[in-house]
Amino acid sequence: MLGRAQFGRIAVSLRAVPVVFPVRYALSGGELRFTLSEEQLARALHKTVATLQADGFEEDSGRRWTAFAVGPTERIEGLANVGQGTSLSLGLGPVPQEQVGVFRLRPVILSGRWIESL
């Protein structure tokens, strides 16, 4: 299900406070790759456990879905790495590496479900 969308939310605990940020992501080789421009959050996400959650809607069937992945995250050094084997278009233009964090999340827990329309 997570491969059906490209926008989601990343959730992490910052000093015991849950924080959720919208992200654009791509599925690549069994891992989720995403970017963040908030440097404080980017530092907090390096080598921690986070949750990426996304929702979607199938127009043909009218069904909705929700899915999430939980796993360790790490920063990917060099923006060139994020595009290898993915359809992720960062849409950031020429942004210096130090202004954006490019991350991978390796799922340990995956869950999702279809939600029937009312």
* Tens-place pLDDT, residues 20-61: 988 889 988 889 998 887 676 777 777 889 999 999 998 888
- Domains of the chain in start order, with CATH, are 2-115 (2.30.110.10)
What is the band of 100 on the pLDDT scale with cuts at 50, 70, 90? low
What's the pLDDT score for residue 42?
Answer: 72
73 and 52 Cβ atoms separated by less than 8 Å: no
DSSP result, 25-66: EEEETTEEEEEE--HHHHHHHTTSEEEEEEEEEETTTTEEEE
What is the band of 108 on the pLDDT scale with cuts at 50, 70, 90? very high
50 and 25 Cβ atoms separated by less than 8 Å: no
**CA pair distance 34, 8, nearest whole angstrom:** 10
pTM of the model as a whole: 0.77
Q: Which two tokens stand for residue 10?
A: 């990343």
